[in-house]
C-alpha cells in the first residue's frame, strides 16, 4: 500500500479530492466537487462510482463486489488492456489483460476553472506484467469528473516495432430494470453474437433485453443512448478512437454462477463498452500513441 499521507500531501486538493483506504484495503481517490461525486480505485484505475450532483448514480457497482489485491472488481469501469476477452494464444493468461488488476500511480490532479476535476494515472509495470506482455508501452488513464464523465485511455508505443492491442472501457451502467430499457445507436450494425458461438448477425431496431446478451458490434463509431424510462433519463455515450461497441448482460443463470453480481444484480446493470475488439484491434506504429476516449452524460427523456 502506497503511503496515503504522502499521496494526499502531493496530490490532494482540500475539500475536493483526497486519497483514502477503501474496501479490501485498496487505495481510492474520492472526488467531491460542485458538479459530481466519483470514486476511483488505484488498482486498475477503475472508476467505481460517478453521480452528477442531484442525480441517481450512473455507474453501477455490485453490492457483492469483492475488493482484494490483484482481483477484478465487479462493476464500475474496468479497463481491459492489452487484449479483450481471452488471450488469443495463451488460454491460461487472464481474461481482458492485466491493466484492470494492476496497481496504478497518480501522475497529476487538477481542479479546472469550470469546476471539473482531472486525474491522470499511469499503469505500474512489473516483472509479472512483462511476462504476460513483453512490449515497451506506456498506459495512462486521464479521468475528468464533472456533470459529464470523460475517460481517455492513452497507449504510447515506445518500442522500435509496431504493437497490436485489444482494449475496452468495460462500463457497467446503473439502470432501473434492464428488461425495460433500450439501447439506441446500433441499428443496422453487424455484430458477433457470443451467446451463439460468435455467429455474425445484424441489429434490427434498438437493442432490448430478454435473455443473456453478449455481443461485439463491429465497425461502429456512432453515439449510443441508453433509454431508461424507470429513471426517466437517457445516458449518452460519445466515443472516439473506438470501432467496436460491446453490449453485455449475463441474465439469470450466468449471474447466479458468477457469485459476485448480487441478488437480482443483473436487473439493474447493463454494460455498453467502448472498445477495439475482435476484427477491430488497433496497431500502433513505433513512437506513436493511441487514444480510446469516451464521454458519458445524462439527458432527460
CB burial of 65-87 (b: ≥16 within 10 Å; e: otherwise) equals: bebeeebbbbbbbbbbbbbbbeb
Residues classed as catalytic:
170, 273
| Other Cβ atoms within 10 Å of 131 Cβ, number | 10
The per-type count for the chain, helices as H runs and strands as E runs, is: 3, 22
- Residue in this structure with the C-alpha cell 461497441, named with its chain if needed: 245
Q: How far is CA 261 from CA 2, 34, 216, in A?
A: 29, 31, 22
- Residue in this structure with the C-alpha cell 490532479, named with its chain if needed: 109
Dihedral over alpha carbons 209, 210, 214, 218 (to 10 degrees): -50
Amino acid at each position: 500500500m502506497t503511503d496515503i499521507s504522502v499521496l494526499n500531501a502531493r496530490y490532494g486538493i482540500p475539500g475536493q479530492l483526497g486519497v483514502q483506504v477503501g474496501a479490501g484495503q485498496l487505495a481510492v481517490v474520492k472526488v467531491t466537487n460542485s458538479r459530481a461525486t466519483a470514486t476511483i480505485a488505484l488498482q486498475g484505475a477503475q472508476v467505481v462510482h460517478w453521480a452528477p450532483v442531484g442525480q441517481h448514480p450512473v455507474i453501477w457497482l455490485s453490492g457483492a463486489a469483492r475488493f482484494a489485491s490483484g482481483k477484478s472488481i465487479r462493476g464500475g469501469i474496468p479497463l481491459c488492456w492489452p487484449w479483450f476477452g481471452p488471450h488469443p494464444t495463451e488460454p491460461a493468461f487472464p481474461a481482458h489483460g492485466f491493466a484492470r488488476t494492476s496497481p496504478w500511480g497518480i501522475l497529476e490532479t487538477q481542479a479546472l476553472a469550470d469546476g471539473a476535476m482531472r486525474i491522470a494515472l499511469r499503469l505500474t509495470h512489473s516483472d509479472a506484467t512483462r511476462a504476460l506482455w513483453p512490449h515497451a508501452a506506456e498506459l495512462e488513464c486521464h479521468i475528468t469528473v464533472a456533470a459529464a464523465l470523460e475517460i481517455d485511455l492513452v497507449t504510447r508505443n515506445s518500442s522500435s516495432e509496431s504493437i497490436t492491442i485489444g482494449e475496452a472501457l468495460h462500463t457497467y451502467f446503473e439502470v432501473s430494470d434492464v428488461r425495460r430499457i433500450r439501447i439506441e445507436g446500433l441499428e443496422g450494425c453487424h455484430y458477433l453474437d457470443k451467446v451463439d458461438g460468435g455467429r455474425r448477425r445484424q441489429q434490427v431496431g434498438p437493442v432490448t433485453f430478454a435473455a443473456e446478451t453478449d455481443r461485439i458490434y463491429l465497425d461502429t463509431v456512432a453515439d449510443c443512448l441508453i433509454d431508461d424510462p424507470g429513471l426517466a433519463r437517457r445516458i449518452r455515450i460519445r466515443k472516439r478512437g473506438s470501432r467496436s461497441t460491446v453490449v453485455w448482460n449475463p441474465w439469470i443463470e450466468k449471474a447466479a454462477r458468477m457469485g459476485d453480481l448480487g441478488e437480482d444484480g443483473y436487473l439493474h446493470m447493463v454494460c455498453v463498452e467502448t472498445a477495439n475488439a475482435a476484427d477491430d484491434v488497433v496497431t500502433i506504429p513505433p513512437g506513436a500513441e493511441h487514444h480510446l476516449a469516451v464521454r458519458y452524460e445524462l439527458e432527460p427523456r
